[in-house]
C-alpha cells in the first residue's frame, strides 16, 4: 500500500476537531514537520475543517493516513491456529461472522496476528496449545470507509491507509513510549485512554502489545451539555465556560462530576475485566484527548480508578522542526494529538 515516501500526515477527523500531524523520516528518525488543529464550529462541516487544516499546516506532503471509529467499527480478538498473516486473511472470512454484529457483505475486514495467547486470559479459553495465536480482527461498515475516502480525495489529498482510532493509540505509544530494548515494558500492563468529544477509546497493552480495546460513548460533549443545563446557557456558551472554568469553577466542577463518574465507572469495569481474565495488573493509565483537559478530570480518574494516571504527551522524545511548526501551540494541544501521531507513525513503514 505504501510507495516510498518520507512524509505522512496523520489526519484525525474527530467529531469536533480535525487534527493533522506530519511526520517526516530524517534518516531513521521521525521528525514533526507540520501540525494543524481546526475546530468544527456549530454549523460548520468536516470538509471545511480538513481544508483549513491543510491550508494552515503547510505540510510537505499530500499523503495522509486517516482513521475510522465508533459504532460502525468493531474490533475482536479471535483465537486461531498459528498461521501466517496471508493465510489468516483468507481463513478469517470463515470465522468472522461468528464474531461480528454485521453481515460480511456490508463491511471491510482486516486482520493481523497479534500474539501468542498464553498471556492473555480472555483468548486463552478457546485456545489451548502452543500452536495457537490471537488474531486481531477489525471490521468497518463499507459506507463509513467510503465516506473517509471521499473526505480525503475531495481535498485533493492522497490516501495511504485507513486505520482504526483504537490502533492508532497503540501505534503512538509504540512510536514514542517504548524505548528500544526497554525490558520494563515486558511485564507491564497499562491502559491508553483517549477521551474525545463524543467517545472514549480504551486500549490496554501488556508488554507493549494490545490485548483489549473498547469504546465508550461518553466524552467532552456530555460535559458541555451538563454545564449548559446547570447554568441554563446555550451549548456554545457552556463550551467556553467549561474551558475557562475559573469564572464558574464550583458550578463547572459539580456539573461535570456525574459525567466523570459514569466515565470512570466504565473505565474501571473494563480494567477490572482485563485483570480478572488475564491475571496481570493494569498499573498505569495514560490519558489523552480533549476531554481530559476538563478541570480536575485526570486527578479524578486517577483517584477513582485507584491506578496511577497521567496526561500523556505523545510528542515527548520526538524532534520538532521549529521552522515549520508553532511549537508552543503544538505543546499546548499535545495530549489531543495522540491519534494523529499514531496515524502518522506509519511513515516508518512508508
Contacts of ligand ATP in 156-215 (CB under 6 A): 196-199
User: Pairing state of beta strands 73-81 and 107-115?
Assistant: unpaired
CB closest to ligand ATP, residue no: 290
Contact residue for ligand ATP among 2, 5, 6, 15 (CB under 6 A): 15
User: Judged by CB under 6 A, does residue 290 bind ligand ATP?
Assistant: yes
Distance, in Å, from the CA atom of 165 to the CA atom of 50, rounded to the nearest integer, reads: 17
Q: Residues touching ligand ATP: how many (CB under 6 A)? A: 21
DSSP string computed for 253-269: HHHHHHHHHHHHHHHHH
Closer residue to Mg ion in complex, CB, 196/342: 196
Distance, in Å, from the CA atom of 139 to the CA atom of 148, rounded to the nearest integer, reads: 15
In 3D space, the residue among 240, 151, 165 whose CA is nearest the CA of residue 198 turns out to be: 165
Partner whose footprint covers residue 242, from ligand ATP, Mg ion, none (CB < 5 to 8 Å by kind): ligand ATP
User: Judged by CB under 6 A, does residue 227 bind ligand ATP?
Assistant: no
User: What residues have CB less than 8 Å from 127, skipping those under 6 apart?
Assistant: 79, 80, 117, 133, 134
Closer residue to Mg ion in complex, CB, 270/336: 336
Backbone angles phi, psi at 55, to 5 degrees: -70, -50
Classify residue 207 as left (phi > 0), alpha (psi -120 to 50) or beta. left
Contacts of ligand ATP in 32-51 (CB under 6 A): none
* Per-position x/- string for 239-258, each x denoting binding to ligand ATP as judged by CB under 6 A, each - no binding: x--xx---------------
User: Judged by CB under 6 A, does residue 119 bind ligand ATP?
Assistant: no
Contact residue for ligand ATP among 291, 312, 325, 346 (CB under 6 A): 291
Query: In whole angstroms, how close is the CB of 252 to ligand ATP at the nearest point?
Result: 9
User: Judged by CB under 6 A, does residue 342 bind ligand ATP?
Assistant: no
Choices 20-28, 71-79, 272-280, 291-299; region in contact with ligand ATP by CB under 6 A: 291-299
- Indicate the DSSP class of residue 70: S
Query: Which residues make up the interface to Mg ion (CB under 5 A)?
Result: 14, 196
User: Judged by CB under 6 A, does residue 10 bind ligand ATP?
Assistant: no
Classify residue 313 as left (phi > 0), alpha (psi -120 to 50) or beta. beta
122, 212 contact by CB (below 8 A):
yes
Distance, in Å, from the CA atom of 70 to the CA atom of 75, rounded to the nearest integer, reads: 11
Give the cell for residue 249: 469553577
Query: In whole angstroms, how close is the CB of 288 to ligand ATP at the nearest point?
Result: 7
Closer residue to ligand ATP in complex, CB, 49/96: 49
Binding-site ranges for ligand ATP (CB under 6 A): 14-17, 196-199, 219-221, 224, 239, 242-243, 289-291, 293-294, 336
Amino acid at each position: 500500500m505504501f510507495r516510498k515516501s518520507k512524509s505522512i500526515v496523520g489526519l484525525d477527523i474527530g467529531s469536533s476537531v480535525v487534527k493533522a500531524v506530519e511526520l517526516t523520516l530524517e534518516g531513521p528518525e521521525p521528525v514533526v514537520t507540520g501540525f494543524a488543529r481546526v475546530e468544527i464550529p456549530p454549523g460548520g462541516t468536516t470538509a471545511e475543517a480538513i481544508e483549513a487544516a491543510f491550508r494552515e499546516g503547510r505540510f510537505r506532503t499530500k499523503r495522509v493516513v486517516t482513521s475510522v471509529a465508533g459504532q460502525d467499527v468493531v474490533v475482536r480478538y479471535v483465537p486461531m491456529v498459528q498461521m501466517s498473516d496471508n493465510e489468516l486473511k483468507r481463513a478469517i472470512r470463515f470465522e468472522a461472522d461468528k464474531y461480528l454484529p454485521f453481515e460480511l457483505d456490508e463491511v471491510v475486514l482486516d486482520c493481523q496476528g497479534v500474539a501468542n495467547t498464553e498471556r492473555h486470559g480472555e483468548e486463552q479459553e478457546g485456545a489451548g496449545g502452543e500452536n495457537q495465536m490471537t488474531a486481531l480482527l477489525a471490521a468497518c461498515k463499507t459506507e463509513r470507509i467510503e465516506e473517509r475516502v471521499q473526505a480525503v480525495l475531495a481535498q485533493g489529498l492522497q490516501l495511504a491507509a485507513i486505520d482504526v482510532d483504537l490502533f492508532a493509540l497503540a501505534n503512538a505509544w509504540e512510536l514514542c513510549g517504548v524505548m528500544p530494548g526497554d525490558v520494563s515494558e515486558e511485564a507491564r500492563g497499562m491502559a491508553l485512554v483517549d477521551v474525545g468529544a463524543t467517545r472514549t477509546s480504551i486500549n490496554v497493552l501488556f508488554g507493549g502489545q494490545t490485548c483489549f480495546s473498547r469504546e465508550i460513548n461518553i466524552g467532552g460533549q456530555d460535559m458541555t451539555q451538563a454545564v449548559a443545563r446547570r447554568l441554563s446557557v446555550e451549548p456554545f456558551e457552556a463550551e467556553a465556560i467549561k474551558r475557562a472554568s475559573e469564572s464558574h469553577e464550583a458550578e463547572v466542577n459539580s456539573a461535570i462530576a456525574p459525567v466523570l463518574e459514569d466515565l470512570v465507572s466504565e473505565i474501571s469495569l473494563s480494567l477490572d475485566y482485563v485483570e480478572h481474565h488475564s491475571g496481570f495488573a493494569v498499573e498505569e493509565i495514560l490519558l489523552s484527548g480533549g476531554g481530559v483537559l476538563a478541570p480536575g478530570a485526570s486527578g479524578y480518574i486517577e483517584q477513582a480508578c485507584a491506578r496511577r494516571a497521567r496526561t500523556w504527551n505523545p510528542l515527548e522524545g520526538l524532534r520538532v522542526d521549529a521552522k515549520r511548526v508553532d511549537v508552543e501551540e503544538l505543546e499546548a494541544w499535545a495530549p489531543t494529538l495522540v491519534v494523529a501521531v499514531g496515524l502518522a507513525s506509519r511513515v516508518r513503514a512508508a
